[in-house]
Amino acid sequence: MIPLSDHDMLAQRNHDEESRQSFVNDFRIHLASNVFPGNFPTYYNRVLPNFIKEKGREPETRHEVRKVMTHDPYYSFWSAMQRNSQEMIWDSVIDSVERQLPELIEKSRKAGDKGSLTLDPDLETPKYHVAADIHLQPGAYHSDQIEDDVAAGAMYDWGTYIYSMGGLGTGNNALGQITNGFFKNEYPDKKPLRILDMGCTIGGSITYWAQQHPDTECYAIDVGAPVLRYGHARAEALGAAVHFSQQNAEHTDFEDESFDIVMSHILLHETSRTAIQNVFDESYRLLKPGGIMMHMDLPQAHGQQPLEGFLFEWEIYNNNEHFFAQLRDMDMAELCRKAGFKDENIHPKSAGSFWMDDQTPYADDGFEFPITIGIK
Ligand SMILES: C[S@@+](CC[C@H](N)C(=O)[O-])C[C@H]1O[C@@H](n2cnc3c(N)ncnc32)[C@H](O)[C@@H]1O
């Protein structure tokens, strides 16, 4: 396993912790490369013929595929292993974070002031966050166990790197590389003065933007205090100026028409149906005339075959990604219209790993994320 690039907030691993994390990483690669593909012959050679025998037709939806595939022993075996590997991610990162927590908290208290950090202890954590620990991360993004906690952020840094099997890049910023590459290609003449990243977690994406656009004022919001404390100290450790604040993206305290870009990276699928519309409405309010909204998220169901759609939804049913279910079928253009964007300024696009500017294990795999663009 190629390790994450070091920075002053990164939890250091001792020999055994590193070895354990490498095992989980390699186990996940093994599952993805050698076990997951077996679901296709399982379906076509066993599950599908049985379905046709019983119903006289093929499954028409991913939901019909789910009803039969989840009872198949091969699928169940892969699914159980996949779930185990997800639990093992957090087990493997938690020890080094706990061991160094006092030190990490101290460093975050003394973080620099190129950017800033503003927390709001009275902010209510949205229900869609407290309902379940998303991705099984214990305590999710928002739980403070001790004063000035940064554990959720420190765990997220290593945890998502292992989750993606290195695909987020050694700077843990591949999503920011993708939106930045997309933006530079689509709007080569635009020079944004102020940008906002919603649902920034530890700021992997916005910190990358800040490094690429040193003359742009970069703002980032999230509802989770521990990820923001960590994210701010991480950005400072990387020499980037980002202004982090604890706010709900549905209703922020920024002024009307105060940003050139309002964006998010895989935020929407972790919020509710109502929240997504609110986020679009808020994005519209915050944009200057001519400003660009860019919300990049996970693929939706349209265009996917029933088996593909079913397999893609494993995370919804097994990894506490419950809220992704509704995004799968939502009409993003309609959300934009309701928020105030005119038809001619709504552009459903996709951005993909081809925009990455450094080499990750998946830089050339062609994976694409839908990105909803609205220009005010
Ligand atoms: C999958 S993570 C996003 C990853 C991050 N954008 C990146 O580029 O690395 C989703 C984040 O959205 C945050 N979030 C969810 N709902 C939110 C809301 N209504 N307002 C602000 N942040 C929210 C969560 O706390 C979590 O940190």
Q: Residue 203: which CATH number?
A: 3.40.50.150
Tokens 């991705």 locate to: 135
373: CB partners within 8 A, 6+ apart: 186, 292, 293, 294, 346, 347, 348, 349
Mean pLDDT of 197-218: 98
Domain ranges, residue 46: 1-376
User: How many domains does the chain contain in total?
Assistant: 1
- pTM reported for the whole predicted model: 0.96
pLDDT reported for residue 364:
63
201 within ligand 1 shell (Cβ under 6 A): yes
For ligand 1, atom 24, the nearest C-alpha belongs to 199
pLDDT reported for residue 349:
93
Flag the least confident range among 127-141, 203-217, 338-352.
127-141
Q: How far is the CA of 272 from the centre of ligand 1 (A)?
A: 12
Residue 67 has pLDDT above 80, yes or no: yes
Tokens 């679009």 locate to: 280
Mean pLDDT of 168-196: 94
174 within ligand 1 shell (Cβ under 6 A): no
Mean pLDDT of 7-18: 96
pLDDT tens-place string over residues 77-112: 999 999 999 999 999 999 999 999 999 999 999 999
282 within ligand 1 shell (Cβ under 6 A): no
Residue 360 has pLDDT above 70, yes or no: no
| Residue 363 pLDDT grade (very low, low, confident, very high; cuts 50, 70, 90) | low
Q: Which atom of ligand 1 is nearest the CA belonging to 128?
A: 16
CA distance 212 to 207: 9
Residue 358 has pLDDT above 70, yes or no: no
Nearest C-alpha neighbor of 309 from the set 51, 41, 62: 62
Mean pLDDT of 299-304: 91
